[in-house]
Each structure stands twice: as C-alpha cells, then as structure tokens.
Amino acid sequence: MMASSTPSSIEHTMLVASEQVPSNITKFKIGLCQLSVTSEKNQNLACARNLIKAAVECGARLVVLPEMWNCPYSNDYFAKFAEDFENEDASPTFSMLSEAACSHGITIVGGSVPESSDGQLYNTSCVFGPDGKLKTKHRKIHLFDIEIPGDITFKESDSFAAGDKPTIVDTDVGRIGIGICHDIRFPELAALYREKGARIICYPGAFNISTGELLWEVMQRARAADNQLFVATCSPSRDSSDSYAIWGHSTLVGPSGEIIATSGHEETVVVAEIDYSKIELQRKGLPLDKQKRADIYLSRWT
C-alpha cells in the first residue's frame, strides 16, 4: 500500500467483451490511486501521472483511478472541465491516460471524468490497454441524486445524462466489468457482469462521508460475495477541493467478501494481489449458481 437491428444493452455488453481474446493470466497486482483533487486540471493530471508511476513501480499491471479525479466533484466544475474524447488534441486527460498506459505497458481503468458528447455531459470511465489504445468507455448508468434534510443534498442529474449500457471489457488481466460509484448500489448490474464472465468489477467512486461510512464497505463486500468475484473501488482522497466531503477508503475485496487491502482517507496508492484461483475455490466450495432457484424468483406469486 502507498490502494441487423440495434443491439440491446446486454447484446452490446457481449459485443464489447467478445472483441478481445480473454487473458489466461491468473495472478497479478492491482493499483488503486487515491489522489487529492484540486481545482487545477493540470495539477490533477500531474498527480495522477505520478501515482500511476508509483503503482507500476510496486508491480501493478492494472491501475484504477477515482471518480471525477480531474476536477472537483461539483456541478460548478463539471461542464468547465469536460472533454470531448473524439477530439484528442483538446482532451488532455484522455491523452495523458493513453500515454501512461502505453509507456508503462499496463491496463488503466481511468476513473471517471466529465465527457462532452453531442451536447450532453456524461460521467465517463475510459479503459486503456497496454498499447495506449482506448478499449472501451463506460458512462455512469445510475446518477446520484440524494436529498437528506440537514445532511446532504446533491443532484448529479442536474449536470449529467445517464449512460444506457453496461460495460464489460477483455483486457490483458482478464475480463472486467465497469461501474461508477452509485452503480454499485444496484446488484442487478453486478450479477449481469458475473453472468457474462467478469472476474473483477472496478468501481471508481466518490462516496461522501455520510453514505460512505454507512455503505461504502458494505456495498463492496456484498457485490463481491454475492457474485464470488473481486471488487475494486477507487476514491479521491478526503482533502480534495470543494464542499463535497469525500469518504476515501479505496479498497480491494475478494470473492468471499473479505477485504484484501484498503486505505484511509488520505492521498495514497493501494497495491494488492489478485489471484483468480480464489474465485474458482469459492465457487466450488459454495456453488451459488447451482443453488439458485430461478424457477421461484421469476415466477408470479399467486
């Protein structure tokens, strides 16, 4: 630790996943870069570049960045910091991630940043391969709108449009499902990823202190244990700019729901080992797929 018709959503997921040959790798290190976000984009890019390098120096082959790491998590900043990924010359965040993946020969799940596309803003995660090429991108499906009187009020939908597709991608370290922050609250998405062969789900996130203390760890462990796979989360550090107080605690959870590695709320890099053989052991010892009763779940109650 230093941490012939338009495809349906499910058909789209399968198309993305089947474009690559699955990796045979069974063991590797992941790096979770919990960086401090400022109101200066160039400073954020430099910090991310340095933490990626630090993770690689510790042996990481897969590196994950936080949600909204190139700008403060605020509706006041999203449009100002947004980038059009189709115009790489005007997208320094996209370019930096591509260059970092290529120069280090790693896979990067690039957290999420505001994406501008066709007059809309999206909360988008880009995944880059060791050749520096974009493998896929995930637009946050479930937007975080919350109103708890006396505690927190925030409407992500005031700035962003919601994505409409799940995202699975084959990489040099295996098949990965992608979600962003509030996506983790919905077990149906994680179950879909497990059904389609994902062995790890990466959730860049920026839970606030209120929901983070109650739910951050619980949600990660539940998604991992229910689906008997690895879950990796990556958050900005708590000292990030603006009034949105972030929980931090970037974490790797194993297929039985055990915490493998985690951080506090400070800027840091978590590096930990993923061993896919643990998935097979867990599923063999506790064969949930065989024990499921779809005949009951999907039947009508009378």
Tell me the catalytic residues: 67, 140, 181
The CA-atom distances, in angstroms, between 119 and each of 92, 116, 164 are 20, 7, 16
Q: Is 74 helix (H, G, I), strand (E, B) or coil?
A: coil
Please give the distance of CA 276 from its chain centroid, rounded to a whole number: 19
CA distance 113 to 246: 16
Question: Hey, is 203 helix, strand or coil?
Answer: strand
Which 3 state secondary structure label does DSSP give 62?
Answer: strand
Collapsing DSSP to helix, strand or coil, 90 comes out as helix
β-partners of residue 268 are 34
How many C-beta neighbours within 10 Å does residue 217 have?
A: 18
Task: Encode 166-178: b = buried (16+ Cβ within 10 Å), e = exposed.
Answer: bbbbbbbbbbbbb
